[in-house]
Amino acid sequence: MIQIYDTTLRDGTQGEGFNLSASDKIHIAKKLDNLGVSFIEGGWPGSNPKDVEFFDRARDLDWNISKISAFGSTCRVKGGPEDDANIKALIEANTPVCTIFGKSWNLHVKDVLQTTLADNLRIIEDSVKYLRQNGKYVIYDAEHFFDGWKADQSYALETLQAAIRGGAETVVICDTNGGTMPWEIENIFRSLKTKIAHPFGIHAHNDAECAVVNSLVAIREGAIQVQGTINGVGERCGNANLISIMSDIELKLGLQCLPPGGLTKLYEVSHYVDEVANLTPNDHLPFVGKSAFAHKGGVHVAAMRRNILSYQHIQPEKVGNQMRVVVSDLSGRGNILSAGEENGLDVSNNTVVVDVLNEVKVLESKGFSFEAAEASVALMLQRQQPDYVSPFELIDFFVNVEHRQGRGIFSEATVKVKVKGEILHTAAEGNGPVNALDLALRKALQTTYPQLATFHLADFKVRILDSDNGSEAITRVLIETQNGNKRWGTVGASANIIEASWKALVDSIEFGLNVAAAS
């Protein structure tokens, strides 16, 4: 079984814009334990109070599968581990595992540590040995190993042998600068295996966009441990993405790295880490991105409807994801059929399907975009049904924006709608024209449709499409609405931003009311 060593909480937090509190770290660590990774690197206890707090809290918690590791460096030059503050902090973190890094590259030994090659070997061996004497399971990270190997192969090898003499359980070969190519990884590991017989792992960075493939090459060459982060977060261009690596290990290499069923949790874990770190998920991440199994081209969708594997390298459910069909001006009939089926609509009438497809293409040429507006597509299909009755009908609306002395900007909207044969005329104030329209429409409808109170505006996006036209440019408005766990998108486009917003707003409410009526 391949050991998964997660360093999201330490190496990941060195990434720009990725920040976690001690509580955040605990929450993510529990999620990783539930996933079933072998090791969780919690931080560097000698570097900051936040990591000290994490280890203080972690020692009182029950960990089902994962072993918590504290990270640090070898002892200082011209000193020993027994009086080194960093080594002392590692021991006091009270974790079963300690991971320390040391220098493999003679450039770093001479220019960064400013010591001799022999003294560097001493501090590696002594630091590992001292931690072992204090009851720790020790993992040794050979920093800059590939650069060190290229500069002085025999010395880089000596640094590993020093760690092994000290008692390191695993020596992890690090591509710290992230610039090593896959064929170099392969050749160096093959040569290395003839010189040492000891469990080894891989720690790759992504500066040359090779971290995942380099990790997989190392595993094929016998690495028993792979280090990385969830979603590939980390310093500079990030670390090896464990989400992709775990998927590839089990689905492509046929090896095991998680407990049975763990792979289906990857989508959840990936998005959970982004949520805790307050980051927008990358929709285009392999395996777990929202777009990883999204199909837009009409030819693709037509084939998928005949055989689900025709344009997918795996079944998305294996990693907790799902297949999606996207509607756009590149769509064919299959896209519309799938959109209808996903919403439980009758799409047996070919004329209706073709009419909606043509309408989509015409509207997209005018600035609409239906990729993120599946609810607007569903409504187009519903409105084509001969027995369809809209829950409300717009008669007219009026919006006024003023600046009044002592009050500032002031928006007011009036809406006149027909609801079940009755004409309702309401007005509302808002903090902007769209908000005022939304409130006025809700006021008119809520007596008849009280479920509207649970609909919430989740996102509102505005994009100018033809900026060369200045203030006359076409504006596209995308609205996402949420009701409990249900979320849907609608779109409007017009040279008038209020009209574009109104179209998207009306669709969002009409679709939500239809879903509520059907449930």
Tokens 């991440």 -> residue: 285
Q: Write out pLDDT tens, residues 60-116.
A: 999 999 999 999 999 999 889 999 999 999 999 999 999 999 999 999 899 988 999
206 has a pLDDT exceeding 90: yes
pLDDT tier at 462 (50, 70, 90 boundaries)?
A: confident
Asked whether residue 312 is domain-assigned, the answer is: no
pLDDT at 379: 83
Rounded to an integer, what distance in angstroms lies between the CA atom of residue 78 and that of residue 76? 6
Rounded to an integer, what distance in angstroms lies between the CA atom of residue 506 and that of residue 508? 5
494 has a pLDDT exceeding 70: yes
The verdict on 382 and 396 lying in the same domain is: no
Asked whether residue 289 is domain-assigned, the answer is: no
The verdict on 357 and 249 lying in the same domain is: no
Q: What is the mean pLDDT of residues 262-271?
A: 96
Q: What is the mean pLDDT of residues 263-272?
A: 96
Structure tokens at 10: 């330490």
Per DSSP bridges, beta strands 170-175 and 137-143 are: parallel
Structure tokens at 242: 């464990």
Asked whether residue 304 is domain-assigned, the answer is: no
> Three-state DSSP class for 294?
strand
Question: What CATH number is given to the structural domain containing 16?
Answer: 3.20.20.70
pLDDT tier at 306 (50, 70, 90 boundaries)?
A: confident
pLDDT at 248: 98
pLDDT at 328: 64
Which domain range does residue 489 map to?
Answer: 353-386+455-519
Q: What is the mean pLDDT of the chain?
A: 90
Structure tokens at 104: 């493999």
Question: What CATH number is given to the structural domain containing 366?
Answer: 3.30.160.340
The verdict on 156 and 106 lying in the same domain is: yes
**Which of 222-231, 368-377, 378-387, 421-430 is the most confident on average?**
222-231
Asked whether residue 73 is domain-assigned, the answer is: yes
> Three-state DSSP class for 463?
strand
The verdict on 26 and 137 lying in the same domain is: yes
pLDDT at 113: 83
Rounded to an integer, what distance in angstroms lies between the CA atom of residue 429 and that of residue 447? 19
pLDDT tier at 392 (50, 70, 90 boundaries)?
A: confident
519 has a pLDDT exceeding 80: no
CB 205 within 8 A of CB 218: no
The verdict on 442 and 413 lying in the same domain is: yes
pLDDT at 70: 98
Q: ∠ at Cα 30 (19, 227), nearest 5°?
A: 65
Among residues of the chain, what percentage have pLDDT more than 90? 55
DSSP 66: P
pLDDT tier at 402 (50, 70, 90 boundaries)?
A: confident
201 has a pLDDT exceeding 90: yes
Rounded to an integer, what distance in angstroms lies between the CA atom of residue 519 and that of residue 180? 55
pLDDT tier at 308 (50, 70, 90 boundaries)?
A: confident
Rounded to an integer, what distance in angstroms lies between the CA atom of residue 226 and that of residue 38? 10
The number of domains in the chain is 3
Q: 395: which strand partners?
A: none
Q: What is the mean pLDDT of residues 254-263?
A: 97
Q: ∠ at Cα 21 (19, 23), nearest 5°?
A: 140
Q: What is the mean pLDDT of residues 457-474?
A: 74
**CA trace torsion 376, 380, 385, 391 (10° rounding):** 50
The verdict on 368 and 231 lying in the same domain is: no
141 has a pLDDT exceeding 80: yes
pLDDT at 471: 59
137 has a pLDDT exceeding 90: yes
**pLDDT top residue among 341 and 299:** 299
Structure tokens at 48: 């900051």
pLDDT at 456: 87
The verdict on 114 and 188 lying in the same domain is: yes
Q: What is the mean pLDDT of residues 178-199?
A: 96
pLDDT at 77: 92
Asked whether residue 345 is domain-assigned, the answer is: no
Asked whether residue 281 is domain-assigned, the answer is: no
No. of helices (H) and no. of strands (E), the chain = 17, 16
**pLDDT top residue among 333 and 135:** 135
Domain boundary among 234, 259, 284: 259
Q: Write out pLDDT tens, residues 285-299.
A: 999 998 898 887 777
The verdict on 53 and 101 lying in the same domain is: yes
Rounded to an integer, what distance in angstroms lies between the CA atom of residue 449 and that of residue 455? 11
**pLDDT top residue among 139 and 361:** 139
Domain boundary among 259, 276, 302: 259
Rounded to an integer, what distance in angstroms lies between the CA atom of residue 228 and that of residue 216? 12
329 has a pLDDT exceeding 90: no
Burial class (CB in 10 A: 0-12, 13-18, 19+), 356: buried
Question: What CATH number is given to the structural domain containing 424?
Answer: 3.30.160
Asked whether residue 311 is domain-assigned, the answer is: no
**CA trace torsion 169, 175, 180, 182 (10° rounding):** 40
Domain boundary among 236, 259, 282: 259
